[in-house]
Amino acid sequence: SSADLDCDVVVLGAGPGGYSAAFRAADLGLKVVLVERYSTLGGVCLNVGCIPSKALLHTAAVLEEAQSLAAHGIKFGEPSIDLDALRAHKDGVVSKLTNGLAGMAKARKVTVVTGSGQFVDPHHLQVETKDGIQTIKFASAIIAAGSQSVKLPFLPDDPRVVDSTGALQLASVPKRMLIVGGGIIGLEMGTVYSALGARLDVVEMLSGLMPGADRDLVKVWEKMNAERFDHIMLETKTVDAKADKDGIWVTFEGKNAPSEPQCYDLVLQAVGRAPNGGRIGAEHAGVQVTERGFIEVDRQMRTNVSHIHAIGDIVGQPMLAHKAVHEGHVAAEVIAGKKSFFDARVIPSVAYTDPEIAWVGITEDEARKEGVKVDKGLFPWAASGRAIANGRDEGFTKLLFDAETGRILGGGIVGTHAGDLIGEVVLAIEMGADAVDIGKTIHPHPTLGESIGMAAEVAHGSCTDLP
Ligand code: FAD
């Protein structure tokens, strides 16, 4: 067949999974083509996900911390907010990273083809570029086409109804904002808009916000954040919405539903993400896609077609960038002939709210449900010199150990910088550490990270008092 490009590996999608796979494959000496429909590399995470949201969350945290200094005797005036400048700052952060990726692709001689790709048979991909169709012949392929946000069918097509991508555009700051779906993405965006002055409502079908995290962690966040919300509607759902001149009128149903429709200036739908498996012509390559659009893979990230791998959001939960990156490395290494496997024991989760909530491994809820006997070590930050000095001692660090062996099985942290702290717990689980290993590791004082050593000492029954 005639192909415009011939390569060892084609990677479809340039998100964290795709670019990591492409770079690793190139580093291992393979000829790589990376296909991306957007003009920049980085996928959801860099362009409209992890990175822009964290840029805005940092601004929000500094803004609120500055205001909190009144208690230290230092007062700033009312903040004046220039949304255009804030948006430009966020866009600058994103382009710094996406340009960096383009440079890294070039340095590795990865050929980037910009356009939408579809499989046409098990060894060819067709890309619709702005200069016409390009055909790429490949020996192996890595599908990294990611996911997109789920749209609720009854929400009106209106600029005041947005998904996370729309919310990150920061068109204006609403007076009243409804967050549909009380998960990480919804609550992170809510944190940003609240810091900029919006009042929040949140509606969640389940019985608690931030599903997946232990309730004791979430409770600390709830207490600190209660004042941002007018209504927290749990076990409730939106059933209808109408766009009117004065706002979007939303009707609710369920346990905590207001009897009347409520009016909002902005409605954010954050009810989850759906994989793009059904949109890439997978059937032409013989790759099986589930009804929901996921692609099933083995521990070498192989699909049912052995020379075609899949990674990232498209292969399933948790839909997180760091999972996609690791899967990308495995797929590339396997194609390069290495015996690599995705064998991570655990994948950490972080909500970059204020305070942050981070957890990894078994949760207390899961331990209870599954009948796993665990010992718990909990260190309240009210006893941490650093947290007190920071004026943020509401948090705590919790570790869960196998009651029989003492091995660490899980951990949760709520507090400022929890996401940066959880890495140590992840490492401890991967290394099979026990409470003594962690408790006898000397952590620098005074740091928040010390709380991990303290929690281990609590579990081990040899708590020392260190202010
Ligand atoms: P994606 O990043 O979705 O990339 C897939 C790429 O494939 C896209 O660029 C897409 O354009 C391209 N593509 C798809 N189909 C085609 C086609 N047919 N032809 C050409 N190109 C195609 N995760 C974290 O770990 N930490 C966070 O803090 C975090 N924050 C988030 C905040 C928000 C608001 C959102 C929405 C997500 C966040 N995530 C976060 C999740 C994270 O973004 C995803 O898990 C991650 O991007 C998945 O990477 P991926 O490589 O699987 O796919």
Phi-psi group of 124: left, alpha or beta (phi > 0 → left; psi -120 to 50 → alpha; rest → beta)? beta
Averaged pLDDT, 330-353: 98
DSSP characters over 206-272: SSSSSTTS-HHHHHHHHHHHGGGEEEEEETEEEEEEEEETTEEEEEEEETT--SS-EEESEEEE-S-
Pocket residue to mutate for ligand 1, from 44, 128, 187, 327, most atoms within 8 A of Cβ = 44
Per-residue model confidence (pLDDT) at position 3: 87
Q: Cβ distance 213 to 274 under 8 Å?
A: no
pLDDT of 411-452, one tens digit each?
999 999 999 999 999 999 999 999 999 999 999 999 999 999
Asked if 445 is an active-site residue, the reply is yes
Interface predicted TM-score of the whole assembly (ipTM), two decimals: 0.99
**The model's pTM:** 0.97
Nearest CA to ligand 1 atom 37: 49
Averaged pLDDT, 315-321: 97
Spacing, Cα 147 to ligand 1 middle (Å):
6
Chain centre to alpha carbon of residue 280: 23
241 exposure class (CB count in 10 Å sphere: 0-12, 13-18, 19+):
buried
Nearest CA to ligand 1 atom 46: 321
Pocket residue to mutate for ligand 1, from 24, 50, 187, 297, most atoms within 8 A of Cβ = 50
pLDDT of residue 183 exceeding 70 = yes
**Which neighbouring-strand residues pair with 412?**
359, 398
What is the rounded end-to-end Cα distance, in angstroms, of the chain?
72
pLDDT of residue 368 exceeding 80 = yes
| Amino acid occupying residue 450 | E
pLDDT of 121-162, one tens digit each?
999 999 999 999 999 999 999 999 999 999 999 999 999 999
Active-site pick, 58, 123, 329, 445: 445
Residues in contact with ligand 1 (CB, 6 Å cut-off): 12-18, 35-38, 43-45, 49-50, 53, 116-117, 144-147, 164, 185, 276, 279-280, 312-314, 319-322, 324, 352
In angstroms, what CA-CA distances link 21 with 60, 84, 158, 195, 328? 33, 35, 38, 37, 4
Would strands 176-180 and 199-204 be described as parallel, antiparallel, or unpaired? parallel
Nearest CA to ligand 1 atom 22: 13
Nearest CA to ligand 1 atom 27: 50
Spacing, Cα 437 to ligand 1 middle (Å):
37
As a whole number of angstroms, the distance between CA 348 and CA 24 comes to 23
Spacing, Cα 173 to ligand 1 middle (Å):
26
Pocket residue to mutate for ligand 1, from 11, 33, 45, most atoms within 8 A of Cβ = 45
Element (H, E) at 61: helix 50-68
As a whole number of angstroms, the distance between CA 440 and CA 423 comes to 18
As a whole number of angstroms, the distance between CA 443 and CA 421 comes to 12
As a whole number of angstroms, the distance between CA 4 and CA 133 comes to 9
Per-residue model confidence (pLDDT) at position 467: 46
Would strands 374-380 and 396-402 be described as parallel, antiparallel, or unpaired? antiparallel
Between 83-107 and 16-27, two packed helices, what is the crossing angle to 10 degrees? Answer: 20
Mean pLDDT of the chain: 97
| Percent of residues, the chain, with pLDDT higher than 70 | 98
pLDDT of residue 1 exceeding 60 = no
Q: Cβ distance 113 to 129 under 8 Å?
A: yes
The dihedrals phi and psi of 349, each to the nearest 5 degrees, come to -120, 140
In angstroms, what CA-CA distances link 271 with 75, 180, 213, 219, 464? 39, 6, 17, 21, 44
pLDDT of 297-314, one tens digit each?
999 999 999 999 999 999
Averaged pLDDT, 325-352: 98
